[in-house]
Amino acid sequence: MKKKAGFLFWCGVVYLVGLLLFAVFGPHFRFSWEAQVASPMLPPFGTHWLGTDELGRDVMARLAYGARLSLIIGFSVQVLAVAIGICVGVVGVYGPKWLSTPLMRFTDGMFAFPDLLLAVLIAGLFSMGLVPVIVALAIGSWPSVARLVRTQVASLKDREFVVASQAMGASTPLIVVRHILPHLAGVLVAVMMVDIAATILAESTLSFLGIGVQLPEASWGSMIQSGNANKLVNPWLLLWPCLILSLTVFALNFVGDGLRALLDPKAKEA
Amino acid sequence: MNKWWLCLLVVPALFVVGCQRGNFSEQAQSGAANVFRYPMNVKPTSLDPHTVQDGDTIDLLQNVFEGLVGWDENNEVVGLLAEKWEVSPDGKVYTFTLKDAKFHNGKTVTAEDVKWSLERAASPALKSTTTGAYLSDIQGMTEMLAGKAPNLTGVKVIDPKTVEITLTEPLPTFIGKFTYLTSAVMPKDSVGPSEITKPEQMIGTGPFKVAQYLPDQLVVLEANKDYHRGAPKLAKIERPIILDSQTRLNKFQAGEVDLISLPRQDAAALAKDEKFKNQLKSFDRAALWYIGMNQMQYAPFKDRRVRQAFAMAIDRERIVRDQLGGLVPIANSIVPKGIKGGGRQGKVHPYNPEKARQLLAEAGFANGQGMPPLNMTFREWPDAPAITEAIASQIKQNLNVEVKIQRTELGAYLQAYNEGKQVFYHMRWGADFLDPQNFLSHMLTTKGPENKFGYSNPTYDELCARADRLLKWEERLPLYAQAEDIVLQDAPWVPLYYQVDYELHHPGLTGLRKSLFGHLPHLNTEIKR
Amino acid sequence: MASTSRSLVSLFKSISTRLLYGLVSILFIAFVTFIIDEVAPGDAALLELGDKATPQTLAIMRAEMGLDRPWPVRFGEFVIKATQLDFGMSYAGVREPVRDKITRALPTTMQVAFLAICLAAIIGLTLGTISAIRQNKFADRAALSLSTLGVTIPNFVLAPILVYVFAVQLNYLPTSWAPPDRRTAPDIFYLLLPVLVMAARPAATLTRLTRASMIDILQQEFIRLAVAKGVPPFRLIFLHGLRNAILPVVTAIGTSFGFLLTGSFVVETVFVMPGLGSLAIDAVRQRDTPVILATTLVAGVVFVLVNLAVDLILPILDPRIRESQV
């Protein structure tokens, strides 16, 4: 019985599409995101729909720019984590015993890696920017993907079509790529959606610690951080990025849940 | 069974409950009379006055320990343990007469204790970094710090109440530096040469003693009734360690603490708040915020006209008004106001974009063409990002020069600064002691220890060298003024503003004394509830 | 008898293998952290002296901290001393043994983290089960949204708001945590908000996990068979459903302890709790290498032990796992 995707799923999809458009066109829509066009700290609902920030820049345009950066960060981290996770997870099932057992144990150990500490430490190595953020967050994310991949592959390994391919003499890498990975894709995409949300949130915590995006660029995390510092003067500056972050996280979660239900109704969780 | 509308009943229920205030604070935390509670913004970095460096910890320790001299509310040097002192005609020998004073353990203070304390501060085993910075004018100090001498030849005990200190040169700045806590007097042989780490070892002469020390959490001081300037009016000072500024504000609003320091942004907001604006106080600090241009890293800065163009392209008034809410004084000199000779209307370059463009063109970079890429860095302080961004965009707008802002992690920033690799940067210099020498000579003369940006002007050097050696203010100040005008015109630095700190005070708080360095020991502080 | 002693031996073997792997992982993590700290510009001496550093003062300070020795010596010495639970002297602040800092910080964090995980588990299991039973109805959506809410607002924004509302304005709760001997009210007042904020994220994860797991179980054949046979639904849900669904949840609880350090420092900063998280972050800021390494090691060991406990509990809950392990 194929489930019908729910109302919330479609809401999420519409929102995300809207967000993509916002990210592409927003930064230069009515005002440019980096130009100091007006007096600082103007309240919203005027010429500047969401007001201006502490340097007189249009908040809406900056949110759109922030959407770009946050989505890029979220996406790159997850792609990296998934890539590593797939490699490790597949080796964990198909690899020789002497490799796969230590590897999976190592993966379990890596859950304890303090990714935030690492991010602050490596921030000094690269002249600040997105690289330490992406690297550190990816290091924090790949273990759970690896575990998930391993569990899935282990259960898929014994299914009829895989056994059949093996009987016909197909080599292991071929089986993995042609048969197993496509089945994995559904679950992975769904998990990725939800994890992108978590990554964007983690990036905001890193901004709280003072590392991450370079000025004058902005991500939602850095806008939340400066909004937090200025919240007594102008609470709007804190509200807008928090709001758009929350809505995006909700949307990503609904879409992720919907995708999981759609693509693989009998998927077991890791 | 879809009784979802039941959930909506929760909302009015919350309203009814929520509008009644609880009384947690009243039950739990109401302050006792004459117990002054104010948080520490950082964890104490040291319990040892001979090694302490940062202002916040000094604010704590200066109530427990004292040296022979200290600052007063007029930013003058006054005697603490010293009743008076005389300077020999050649300016090299200071003779201090000690007051009748007792240590916290009841023992009387003698000249032997003074000599012992100075020698402890100088001992190589202690590895203090402040002793060398502040007391190296004393004869024999450099040798003892290097381990080449077992004691200080420049400090002599004349009799139990008289100490004679001989300097290597007749420097008028010595007495100001001598106020630093590294000269604190402790009972002879009371502690070893390694750093104090326990409150029991903290025996000084100050108006308060350490009653309780919970590391990372709390320090409690109690009054020293036998203090030589009279018992303090407070019974206790409680200093909880609260690192987060929002939490400090919450506690102040809940009535759990009596004084907090405020970040500038919050100060701007609270200045408009009816309830708090009368409790908001501001304090001048002896620190200058400026923009530095490093000639050794960026060739165009070698040309005076380029530097002047940059100075004229920065609209300092707008920055102070817009980014800083008009809450700080704009700096038109290098030496901050409050220091003798500081805060004057120096010959700064006024904001003049056309003249700036003209100068840049004369230097061969018409319309910004030909300027190599320029990175601007800043130290991570509140407001620094906004100010840096504003300046970068003004330079771009007025001179058409691309300035790329580079946010650097603190460790990397300090390393670059130390090695003289900062190119175009927003920075602060806080006074070590209240004398123009600490700004003009220390930072900007060719051989100045902090001159890492290649500025060199022989006329300037000569004026400063003369002023550094004269003994009378009325002779020194005109020379410093002349020198300051030269350096303002040459523009290796663009001064922005002097630092002002903001605090919120409980209305019943009186008698708080302050100098340019911050609070003074709480002799007269009182709190009435 | 023979089989008992055989399974005891194999139990012992599996515990020791896991411990070994765990310790090796932790050492590896500590080593990587140490190398990065080495390579990154600046060091504790520079950060302590700040812009007042001069070559002479830097040399003095580095000698005092022991930073003038080559890095293999420093790391090796640290590891050897660590086995005796001596982590050396802290570079930053008052010079005290790192062990003292850890012994003060660890109980504070552990108490709140433990309570937070328990709360998260209770919330997660409850909301997740409700969701699973009332799948796709309003209760499901409400529970999911509620749990998602816990993760959408960054906790460094949520915590101050909660404090402002409940402590400053309404005055029901204290404005911050306080050490046990300075509390003037029952402990729960001081622990409520920090535990709540720390539990938000794991509660959301566990809700989803429980929900998915329960849905899975409830759809299986044997449940339908039992319903057809007339077994009362509540008994089914709790006895069979939960008991099976709980397995991935228990595993996830173990994994959540991996966030002990990183998750707690925001809570610790806002609520003024001198715990392990803020100790670690301060240490990183000040490049206090012994403290950085010690906190990484301690958090890692706690993590390994907790997961070991989880691995030992699982077979008890589900005999099928027990067999597949032998």
Task: Please provide the DSSP assignment of B254-273 as one string.
Answer: TTS-SEEEE-HHHHHHHTT-
Of A56, A127, A230, the CB nearest to B406: A127
Residue of C nearest to B443 (CA): C52
Using a CB-CB distance cutoff of 8 angstroms, which residues of chain B are in contact with residue A226?
Answer: 385
DSSP summary character for residue A214? P
The per-residue pLDDT for range C96-148, each reduced to its tens digit, is 899 999 998 888 888 888 899 899 889 888 888 888 777 777 777 788 778 77
A193-222 residues touching C, CB cutoff 8 A: 197-198, 201, 204-205, 208-209, 221
H or E element at residue C80: helix C71-83
Mutation target to probe the A interface, by most A beta carbons within 10 A, among B409, B422, B425 is: B409
- For the domain made up of A2-27+56-269, the CATH class stated in words is mainly alpha
| Residue from C109, C22, C296 nearest A121 by CA | C296
Q: How many Cβ atoms from other residues are within 10 Å of residue B30's Cβ?
A: 10
DSSP secondary structure letters along A40-60: TT--SSSSSTT-B-TTS-BHH
Residue B9 confidence (pLDDT): 59
Instruction: Classify burial at B10, counting beta carbons within 10 Å of its beta carbon; exposed 0-12, middle 13-18, buried 19 or more.
Output: exposed
Q: Do B22 and C92 touch (CB under 8 A)?
A: no
d(C-alpha C192, C-alpha C211), whole Å? 26
Residue B18 confidence (pLDDT): 54
Longest alpha-carbon distance in chain B: 99
How many Å lie between the alpha carbon of C302 and the closest alpha carbon of chain A?
Answer: 9
Single pTM value for the model: 0.84
Which residues share a beta bridge with B214?
B218
Residue of B nearest to A37 (CA): B393
DSSP summary character for residue C153? S
Q: What is the arithmetic mean of pLDDT over A140-144?
A: 85
The per-residue pLDDT for range A20-63, each reduced to its tens digit, is 998 888 888 777 777 777 777 888 887 788 888 877 888 888 89
Tokens 């006054």 belong to which residue? B78
ipTM value for the complex = 0.80
Mutation target to probe the C interface, by most C beta carbons within 10 A, among B45, B250, B432, B499 is: B250
d(C-alpha A68, C-alpha A137), whole Å? 18
B199-238 residues touching C, CB cutoff 8 A: 214-218
The set of residues, in sequence order, having a beta carbon less than 8 Å from that of C205 and lying 6+ positions away, is C124, C151, C252, C256
Q: What structural domains does chain C harbor? A: 2-82 (no CATH), 102-319 (1.10.3720.10)
Share of chain C above pLDDT 70, in %: 89
Residue B30 confidence (pLDDT): 61
Mutation target to probe the B interface, by most B beta carbons within 10 A, among C136, C137, C175 is: C175
Interface contacts B/C by beta carbons within 8 Å: 151
Q: Do C281 and A118 touch (CB under 8 A)?
A: no
B interface with A, Cβ–Cβ < 8 A, is 263, 265-266, 268-270, 322-323, 325, 380, 382, 385-386, 388-390, 392-393, 405-409, 411-412
Residue B15 confidence (pLDDT): 58
H or E element at residue B85: strand B82-87
H or E element at residue B503: strand B493-505
Long-range contacts of A40-49 (CB under 8 A, 24+ apart): A40/B322, A40/B323, A41/A233, A41/A234, A41/A237, A43/A234, A43/A236, A44/A236, A44/A240
Of B265, B325, B405, the CB nearest to A215: B405
Instruction: Classify burial at C4, counting beta carbons within 10 Å of its beta carbon; exposed 0-12, middle 13-18, buried 19 or more.
Output: exposed
Tokens (6 digits) for B130: 């402040």
What's the 3-state SS for B391-453?
HHHHHHHHHCCCEEEEECCHHHHHHHHHCCCCCEEEEEEECCCCCCHHHHHHHHCCCCCCCCC
Residue with the bigger pLDDT between B264 and A158: it is B264
Q: Do A232 and B266 touch (CB under 8 A)?
A: yes
The per-residue pLDDT for range C13-35, each reduced to its tens digit, is 888 888 888 888 888 888 888 88
B239-258 residues touching C, CB cutoff 8 A: 240-244, 246-247, 250-251, 253-254, 256
- Residue spans of chain B under pLDDT 70: 1-31
What band does C245 get if pLDDT is binned at 50, 70 and 90?
A: confident
Of C92, C100, C174, the CB nearest to B24: C174
Q: How many Cβ atoms from other residues are within 10 Å of residue A202's Cβ?
A: 24
Q: Do B129 and C57 touch (CB under 8 A)?
A: yes
Residue C9 pLDDT > 80: yes
What band does A267 get if pLDDT is binned at 50, 70 and 90?
A: very low
DSSP secondary structure letters along B311-337: HHH--HHHIIIIISTT-SPBPSSSSPB
Of A140, A249, A257, the CB nearest to C151: A249
Residue C276 pLDDT > 60: yes
C280-299 residues touching B, CB cutoff 8 A: 282, 285, 287
Residue B62 confidence (pLDDT): 95
Answer for the pair A142, A79: CB distance below 8 angstroms, yes or no.
no
Tokens 């005070």 belong to which residue? B505
Residue A3 confidence (pLDDT): 46
Residue with the bigger pLDDT between A216 and B62: it is B62
The per-residue pLDDT for range A169-191, each reduced to its tens digit, is 767 677 767 777 777 777 788 78
H or E element at residue A61: helix A59-94
d(C-alpha A115, C-alpha A105), whole Å? 19
| Residue from B393, B333, B399, B391 nearest B363 by CA | B399
Per domain, the residue ranges of chain A are 2-27+56-269
Q: How many angstroms separate the Cα of B396 from the Cα of each of B77, B313, B384, B404?
A: 46, 9, 18, 10
